[in-house]
Chain A
């Protein structure tokens, strides 16, 4: 591996988002391809972060700093990758369902998935079923992630899935759900494809789904 790629990996691990823009441009000037930088610079760094996080040696704030460093590079690389037709991890649409304003968990899922190389379209919170449907039609994501924090709002996820079915887009994507009262049983019952207990496993699941 070239020095500059291993430096980029280290910068991801250390969460050095400040110098990442310059270093990514320098790599491009050295005629390294965007795909090379992504697969052999950024991703090995994020993979390392994932391993250390699972082992309890890195913590959420550090992972987010690493994700931010990765994003700084991706902002430069993404248009180039799109131009050259390189397949990236893909898009995820995220939202907290109608009536629910608790979105820290959903935000965390978004940042973790960004760290895993996904492009995140975050609809925000208190999102109505039709807004989910419109976003799916517009962005054509591989994955939809929904969250609810309350037992009173979790049922809305079922309504959203129904709305997607009626709009004929349910089968174009995988649906994963989460939130404090949500369980695997519930996910199965309402016809979601997966349930993740926390943000890190949500990112793992997204990678599997994008496979």
Chain B
């Protein structure tokens, strides 16, 4: 038997050395200790002050021991559960595990029937959720848009209800403020069977964004405090634009983003020690001719790799980004940018990779891009799974059996392993030219479209409990009333 045998069972890369990561880490602590952030939330400032922060008006500086203490309290590994108990839909966050899903709040959507760009509608949410529910390499749900045709303040709430109905995969839920955060949580708790049951098996992650540079906004902290008090797993993710709202250098953008996220971490861990916390954010460059935040730039993948390594160095999971593009349409640019960032993200082992399916620099959501990227993710996952080496996979037995001049097609070893050794594509075409012609000369775009239509035609949702449906009706009616009163 073998002892002390060392295994590298998958492909990962490592960009920065421990020394470089220590420098980034120290840079974050320096920003928090000597510069601080504007924390525009009285209760949050009080919590921080009581824990030892230096508070001067809105400006809050954190002694590094407070940050290290918060990092020590936050778990590196935890599970987000499928609402129906299907273990295949659970997400186990931990070292070496990459998960993928769409992003939130695009203004436009690529219409599923016409493939044309138009404003995002409520009826789009179930379609996105069904596609997410069915795609094998998409692990969590966001809706790829903000709903245009419901009252503005209720759009995140409406969106959540439609996602919750149509997929059992864990949801990452954004919201505007306290009101809709609370409404969303009531629905999730009802389905879970109470707050205690939810805390044991959380089914969604709460998403908030601080503002760059260096501001913890009131609404983002209202949401953060709510999530912390109710023990809802939390993403706190800034979106700095290198060269605009953050330093132009990758290292500088990484430490600023980390400082913005860790202010949230420190508040959250002081309210709810041990709260599952996922560090952000989305780091990319501001294009210096078109002034957009690029979702297809190599610098995005590079900076995301850097901040992923810093997060893991500090013991936190990271909210990765990939599968997105600046292209306006389903074309070569969309697939090139999306596929490369997916592979890069998978290689970093970034924990939850979002924005899969973003096009037009996050202005337009596309289930076609999402479905195409499902294929790229499958491809990337096969690569990161690596080569398994053991006595059976060495296959010396099989080589004995077949010998020179034979073939392996019928060998038991082939039957046993071909499914796990090979990745089986869904959209990629490997047929002969003749068969391709026979099948209608369909392009990758045609096949992607067909897959989306097929999923939508066949998907059967796992219904929510009747009492949850009742509560949703009640909450939406209350919400409509609340909006009316606000307007009066």
Residues on A facing B (Cβ under 8 Å): 59-62, 64-65, 68, 104, 107-108, 111, 184, 197-198, 201
Contacts and interface: CB of A to CB of B under 8 A. Distances in A.
Nearest to A67: B410
Contacts, number: 31
11 contacts: A59-B419, A61-B414, A62-B415, A68-B410, A107-B409, A111-B409, A197-B432, A197-B433, A197-B435, A198-B435, A201-B434
Given A59-B418, A61-B415, A61-B418, A104 B407 contact: yes
Interface in B396-440: 407, 409-410, 414-415, 418-419, 424, 432-435
B407 A107 contact: yes
Given A61-B415, A62-B415, A111 B432 contact: no
Contact of A104 (B409, B414, B424, B434): B409
B432 to A, nearest CB: 4
B450 to A, nearest CB: 13
B401 to A, nearest CB: 15
Contacts of A201: 434-435
Contacts of A197: 432-435
A108 B410 CA distance: 10
By DSSP majority rule, is chain B's interface helix, strand, loop, or mixed? helix
Contacts of B424: 59
Contacts of A61: 409-410, 414-415, 418
Interface of B: 407, 409-410, 414-415, 418-419, 424, 432-435
Contacts of A65: 410, 415
Of B407, B409, B414, B433, which is in contact with the most chain A CB atoms at under 10 Å from its CB?
Answer: B409
A16 to B, nearest CB: 13
B263 to A, nearest CB: 51
Contacts of A111: 409-410
A107 B411 CA distance: 14
A61 B412 CA distance: 9
A198 B438 CA distance: 14
Contacts of A64: 409-410
B173 to A, nearest CB: 36
A184 B418 CA distance: 31
B409 A60 contact: yes
Of B424, B432, B434, which is in contact with the most chain A CB atoms at under 10 Å from its CB?
Answer: B434
Contacts of B433: 197
Contacts of B434: 184, 197, 201
A108 B409 CA distance: 8
Contacts of B415: 61-62, 65
B441 to A, nearest CB: 15
A104 B409 CA distance: 9
Contacts of A104: 407, 409
Contacts of A62: 415
Nearest to B413: A61
A201 to B, nearest CB: 8
A50 to B, nearest CB: 15
Nearest to B426: A56
Nearest to A54: B435
Contacts of A60: 409
Given A62-B415, A68-B410, A111-B409, 18 more contacts: A59-B418, A59-B419, A59-B424, A60-B409, A61-B409, A61-B418, A64-B409, A65-B410, A65-B415, A107-B407, A107-B409, A111-B410, A197-B432, A197-B433, A197-B434, A197-B435, A198-B432, A201-B435
B445 to A, nearest CB: 19
Nearest to A68: B410
A64 to B, nearest CB: 5
A94 B218 CA distance: 78
B265 to A, nearest CB: 46
